[in-house]
Amino acid sequence: MDAENTPPRRKKALTRREFLAAGSLALAARVRAAGSDRIGTPYKLGKYVLNASGTQGSFDAISVDGPFIFRHKGRYYMTFIGFDGIGYQTGLASSSDLVNWQKEGCILKRDPTSPILKYNAAMSWILRENGLYSPGELKQVDGYYLGAYHAYPGQGYEQGPAVIGLGRSRDLRNWVLDPPCLLAQDGADWERGGLYKPCLLHHHGKYYMFYNAKNQMKRGWHEQTGVAISKDLKSWTRYSGNPVIANGVAGSLDERFASDPCVLQDGKEWVLYYYGLDANAVARDLAATSPDLLHITKSNRILIDVGPEGSIDSRYAHKPSVIQYQGDLYHYYCAVHREDRHEIRGVSVARSRPWKSY
């Protein structure tokens, strides 16, 4: 197993108390490693960790969505997508314990002068360590942090065929965006309706851009996940075997959608977290595995299921982002329920170890 897939080690000398605590954590990690379940997070916190502001005129007035979690300079951060009734914009929040989050504002705003960003600017991923059990630190390319965004051309909620592009930043708060590198019209039939969440990683000298996309059906469309590959971040080639995560058969959990990839490495195997939407429009987080990022085997297992009526995720439990902390996996997702005919959409979390209290 490489360094990215092992929990972080302390560099300073430990006190007796720290030594005992570290030993307990190491033992817990070894127990999990020895067992068959290294990707599961069955224990829900049961409440939102990030909500819409509800403040008219704010970028996240109506909902927050699409979490992406990473570690940076000793603190944890979340990019998230805020919706204000006009379109998507990107926010940043920070935390010291992965449960209590503080919003730090909007870091990627719409640009009324841009035909691409006029209504939407949604950054969904920043290049990070690949390891599922790594700390989740960001990587730099030529001195910059490298993000992947998607943008819809129309006003409203996900209106029109969205595109995918890259952006660069030195401080994670000011971003310069490149023109789109993936367009829906350049793809196959399964993706010509529009491109959704990108997931960017670097492995063995190549960049892999996973993304979900939809076909051109106006109602009852299907979404599946594909991948494009580049050596220089300029020229991208779609994999000939796309979609790598295809819709399942009739009656399956991902019959309609196989969407929002979160791809991380666990030793010699890759884990592709994603969500499935079934024929009854119920969304749940699922997973697949791969030895090489191209040949995929679904696990046929629900990682995060919808909750009972009255719970925060009774409608959808979807859009995964996973990070390791002290040997435990924290699985963030968009939790959706309805109140008085209104959809309430926020971010919650589940983990691999039971919660005590929060």
* Distance (Å, whole) CA 11 – CA 29: 19
Q: How confident is the model at residue 309 (pLDDT cuts 50, 70, 90)?
A: very high
pLDDT for 27 equals 36
Distance, CA of 199 to CA of 7 (rounded, Å): 23
Indicate the pLDDT class of residue 20, thresholds 50, 70 and 90. very low
Share of the chain above pLDDT 70, in %: 89
Q: What token pair was written down for 223?
A: 């979404």
> What pLDDT score was predicted for residue 48?
98
> Is 2.40.10.10 the CATH number for 38-351?
no
The two structure tokens encoding residue 108: 């990627």
State the CB neighbour count (10 A cutoff) for residue 183: 16
Q: What is the dihedral of CA 259, 41, 315, 106, to 10 degrees?
A: -70
User: How far is CA 254 from each of CA 44, 227, 248, 281, rounded to the nearest angstrom?
Assistant: 22, 18, 5, 10
Return the pLDDT at 358: 56
* 203-230 pLDDT tens trace: 999 999 999 999 999 889 999 999 999 9
DSSP assignment string, 258-308: EEEEEEEEETTEEEEEEEEE-TT--EEEEEEEESSSSS-EE----SB----
The burial class, CB within 10 Å (0-12 / 13-18 / 19+), for 57 is exposed
Q: Give the rounded distance of the alpha carbon of 75 from its chain centre.
A: 18
Q: What is the pLDDT, as a whole number, of residue 158?
A: 84
Q: What is the pLDDT of residue 234?
A: 95
Domains of the chain, residue spans: 8-37, 38-351
Q: What is the DSSP string of 3-40?
A: GGGS-----SPPPHHHHHHHHHHHHHHHHHHHSS-SS-
Q: What's the pTM value of the predicted model, to 2 decimals?
A: 0.89
Which among 40, 35, 32, 38 is positioned nearest to 301, based on CA atoms? 40
For range 21-48, the mean pLDDT = 65
Calculate the average pLDDT of the chain.
91
Start-end of H helices in the chain: 16-34
Q: What pLDDT does 35 receive? A: 44
pLDDT tens column, 41-64: 999 999 999 999 999 999 999 999
Structure tokens at 103: 């919003």
* pLDDT tens digits, 187-200: 999 999 999 999 99
CB 173 within 8 A of CB 107: yes
Name the pairing type of β-strands 63-72 and 144-151. unpaired
Which residue has better confidence, 342 or 180?
180
Mean pLDDT for 298-322 is 96
- The pLDDT value recorded for residue 93 is 98
- Give mean pLDDT, residues 168-185: 97
Two structure tokens written together for 241: 């075997």
pLDDT at 81: 97
Q: Which residue has the higher pLDDT, 25 or 192?
A: 192
pLDDT for position 30: 43
Q: What is the pLDDT of residue 24?
A: 37
